[in-house]
Structure 1
Amino acid sequence: MKNVDIIMNMRFSLDNQFTDGKFENSQFNDNQVRLEIKGKIHDKVYFRFRDRYTKTTSPGSRDNLSRSTDMAYIGVQVSPKTQINLGKMSADWGGYEFDLNPIDILQYNDILEYADNFLTGVGVIHQISKNHSIGIQALNSRTGNFEEIYQGTIPQGIEKSKLPKAIVTNWRGSFFDGKFQTIYSYSYFHEAKNRGMNYVSLGNMYANRNFTLMYDFKYSHEGLDRKRLVTTMLGGGVPENETAYTAQDVSYLEHWIRAEYKINPKWNLSLTLMSSDASGKNILNDNSGYHHLRTAYGVIPSVQFAPFKDLNLKFFVSYVGRWCQHSDYAKQVLGQKDYNTGRLSIGFIAPLWIL
């Protein structure tokens, strides 16, 4: 067991919810509880397992694994610089929003919030040099079957893929003695015939002494709307509605910025800013044209206090503010309305190292 770690990743808080500036409710939440077990079981074999106790445990119809399981894979070191991973793993998206421990993300931006981020397949990681590595993964494109994901809302003439796979490529770089780092990726998902998804994520980080600045750019063009945000605006996703259908040719473009400043070993400040744009082409008919539909903004200031020198336990106070603004087209044609939400949270964050 000396080469095995057991970690309980937790985030607990008292959450106070607001909608359009009006107080809605207050409740205690176990926001994150993820048990992680990882380590070496052989000189060249590594394993990692992580299960989330705050998510449904029903098995995925594609991979036959509980939806609550983030990762369950082995890694085999085939050479000093090359490792092959097999099983359910995190899709190797670029960007630091996804690279951080989930307990440290108080609210994800839309793309990651509504994506299948943990998929089953095979991945290869190769260390090109001390400061650069590349990776490629071949994964199931989703955890559920086609019919389960789209729930009878597929437009006529769309033929599901017989090979629903995803290819994820990744490059990680480090420059200037690690002060500037990058995580870039490009992914392609084959969902249906002539209806794929292209996803680009570019993560950049500058870190120097007590200050860290991260910036992610993300763009997803989807032949079929996997995030379902545009589809929801059209009334899709409701099997009882005979006119409901999944939107096609939609795009999501995002910016995510996080700044952290460590005042001293016990006090840390952070500020996250994010935006997400949703657009669609010919979403009502073949000739309706291209339209920007909405922009969602987010701001998350947070103060953290770590009282123990030898334990990574942080108490925090944060506010998560979200504003959703719709275009004139979305308001006038689709009947959408602007709104905002807020969440004031007080609690703790801790990756508890049990063993």
Structure 2
Amino acid sequence: MSKNTLRLLACGLVVTAFGATASAQQEHYTTEPSLAEQVGIVKAKQDKFNLFLNMNTSLDAAWDSENFNSLKFYARQLRIEAKGNITPWLSYRWRQRINRPNGSSGNIDNLPTSIDIAGIGVRPTENFSMFLGKQCAAYGGIEFDLNPIEIYEYSDMIEYMSNFLTGANFAYDFTPGQQLQFQVLDARNGSYESTYPGMYKKVEETKVPLVYTLNWNGTIVPDYWTTRWSYSYMSQSKDHNMMYVALGNHFDFGPVDGHFDWMYSNEGLNRKMIIKDLENVEYNSFVLKLNYHISDSWNIFGKGMYETASAGGTDKWFDGTKQRTALGYFAGVEYYPMEDGNLHFFLTYVGRNFKNNIDDTTASTNKLLCGFIYQLPMF
């Protein structure tokens, strides 16, 4: 074979190899997602799954009018939460309290009370949505609707309520900033006997233990005054019912904002057992909180609560005799070191005073809390 022939053969092999390489490179780059596509894939994955750890932990000092009682570290709230959007019309949410027992034996929905939320959201249209599963009752009130980690201490009205129940919620946004919700849920978590231990042998159990709630989340003065108002009706037994009203109002005036909640419960069977009467009791609660945002990083606040418990009334509202009065007074400072405002450290004083109107006795408690609140994004 001549040298010219060898040269032609070598050139042909080089050209062939180059063509194959170019073809492979072209195939590679046409199938690999672009940078924009990769970002879109990551965002879609993040939108489908978000995981959070909700924490409220502090060093607590407690004393009463006579004695210093304790100094301890205390994990007030520890909840894990996952949520996301599977499609534009389908979402899910799950939140569970880690520092609470998980037993579900005897619960009518077969779920432990440690689970706050476990269900799916469905949005068939832009203005109409549903949430199906275990969820927070739409009782209304601004403080009631906040993330529990944000609360240093609840009012008695909220503290003794069953807030997380299983059922369905239907919401309709009829104008921007105006929403109506209708909700139907199980009226309790546990059995009839455990919910009304002093009365379950004396009254006949209802066959439809449900609670119905109509909730308005609205705007009265745009940017300044928003509302969470609700009316609820609960079937407790065959002949006993509970009616509950909550009028929550949030105000925002620049560096000063806050909320004022009024809550009233008329209970045929004593659901909260703050007082000992088993039938025909009323609970009334007022909560006012004000924040002053000194800067983006610092906030000071004050909070007051006034609550009463009455008994011996009828189905008429405000018809009972007052048996107990409770006062709460809070003050504190919060520091937000991060721009997103998620993590904050706090120093808070919580004072409570209780008066028994029957025997005219009083009691008081005091706490000083120093700790942090953080909804930690884990994924």
Query: Is 1:346 equivalent to 2:370 in the alignment?
Result: yes
Match of 1:53 in 2: 98
Shift, 1:21, TM fit: 4.3
**Contact map agreement 2:196 2:269 (CA 8 A) in 1:** no
Structure 1 residues 216 and 290, CA gap change in structure 2 (3 angstroms): closer
Query: Is 1:186 equivalent to 2:231 in the alignment?
Result: yes
Shift, 1:17, TM fit: 1.1
**Contact map agreement 1:6 1:353 (CA 8 A) in 2:** yes
Q: What SS class does the counterpart of residue 158 from structure 2 fall into?
A: helix
Shift, 1:275, TM fit: 1.2
Shift, 1:156, TM fit: 6.2
Deviations 1:199-218 (CA, angstroms, capped at 9, x unpaired) = 00000111122211200000
Q: After the TM superposition, which residues 25-40 of structure 1 pair with which residues of structure 2 at under 5 Å, given as runs?
A: 25-40=70-85
Q: What CA distance in whole angstroms lies between the structure 1 residues aligned with 2:80 and 2:320?
A: 45
**Contact map agreement 2:269 2:280 (CA 8 A) in 1:** yes
Letter in 2 for 1:26: L
Query: Is 1:160 equivalent to 2:231 in the alignment?
Result: no
Bigger relative CO (Cα 8 Å, ≥ 6 apart)? 1
Q: What CA distance in whole angstroms lies between the structure 2 residues aligned with 1:308 and 1:188?
A: 42
Shift, 1:104, TM fit: 1.1
Q: TM-score, normalised by structure 2?
A: 0.84
Query: Is 1:134 equivalent to 2:180 in the alignment?
Result: yes
Shift, 1:230, TM fit: 1.4
Shift, 1:308, TM fit: 2.7
The structure in which a higher percent of residues are helix is 2
Shift, 1:136, TM fit: 0.5
Aligned residues between the structures: 329
Match of 2:46 in 1: 2
Shift, 1:96, TM fit: 0.7
Q: What CA distance in whole angstroms lies between the structure 2 residues aligned with 1:212 and 1:353?
A: 27
Stretch of structure 1 that moved more, 251-260 or 94-103 = 94-103
Q: Which has the larger radius of gyration?
A: 2
Q: What CA distance in whole angstroms lies between the structure 1 residues aligned with 2:272 and 2:207?
A: 21
Q: What SS class does the counterpart of residue 143 from structure 2 fall into?
A: helix
Q: After the TM superposition, which residues 1-355 of structure 1 pair with which residues of structure 2 at under 5 Å, given as runs?
A: 1-3=45-47, 4-59=49-104, 61-151=107-197, 153-154=198-199, 157-231=202-276, 247-281=278-312, 290-310=320-340, 312-327=342-357, 330-331=358-359, 337-355=361-379
Match of 1:241 in 2: none
Structure 1 residues 132 and 20, CA gap change in structure 2 (3 angstroms): same
**Contact map agreement 2:186 2:211 (CA 8 A) in 1:** yes
Letter in 2 for 1:316: F
